[in-house]
Chains A and B, each alone.
Chain A
Amino acid sequence: KQEVTQIPAALSVPEGENLVLNCSFTDSAIYNLQWFRQDPGKGLTSLLLIQSSQREQTSGRLNASLDKSSGRSTLYIAASQPGDSATYLCAVLDSNYQLIWGAGTKLIIKP
């Protein structure tokens, strides 16, 4: 059974730092992995989608990588800003087209 883990559950860093959020999954048979952002009390916003055949995707200051063989994805945020404070969730689309979710990492960027 596919399981998705995000560690740490919470992270606090000073503004301007580069940071990495982690997402690991137990079964490499996935179609894709998607990173989302969620602001308090709001819905989810899609950030990046990496298909299983891809190694990374970039959007602005965000870069997501995927290593299927090791069951890992990272979300790299460059030059962090207070506006990046949010909860970041990853989800994998498994071989049955089911989305399996991580519990999220709550990120706080200190001004």
Chain B
Amino acid sequence: DVKVTQSSRYLVKRTGEKVFLECVQDMDHENMFWYRQDPGLGLRLIYFSYDVKMKEKGDIPEGYSVSREKKERFSLILESASTNQTSMYLCASKPLAALTGELFFGEGSRLTVL
């Protein structure tokens, strides 16, 4: 079974802090994604990556950056956290060879910014 692991399930940070959200997948998938999910707004794509050191902006990249130094790991970075970044963050992956294939999600990271 594909496993996508988000290292932090719950985080509480203060405004202005730098925040790292880590995601690791164990199935050698090329494509990795970061979404945020908010009530009433659904899932919105922040960034995605289709290979090591490659990144593409999604629909709402402002205030975020990402890092993909190794194939299995995709990190989401909030350089200076703000209260409007309080949200559920979801990481997902799928293989490049299966662009129309199934998307696998991690358990989510609930971030609260005070």
Contacts and interface: CB of A to CB of B under 8 A. Distances in A.
Interface of A: 31-32, 34, 36, 41-46, 49, 51, 89, 91, 93, 97-99, 101-104
Interface residues of B, number: 20
B90 interface: yes
A43 B106 contact: yes
Contacts of A45: 105
B interface: dominant SS: strand
B77 interface: no
B45 A99 contact: yes
Given A101-B43, A102-B42, A43 B102 contact: no
A interface: dominant SS: strand
Nearest to A104: B42
A51 B100 contact: yes
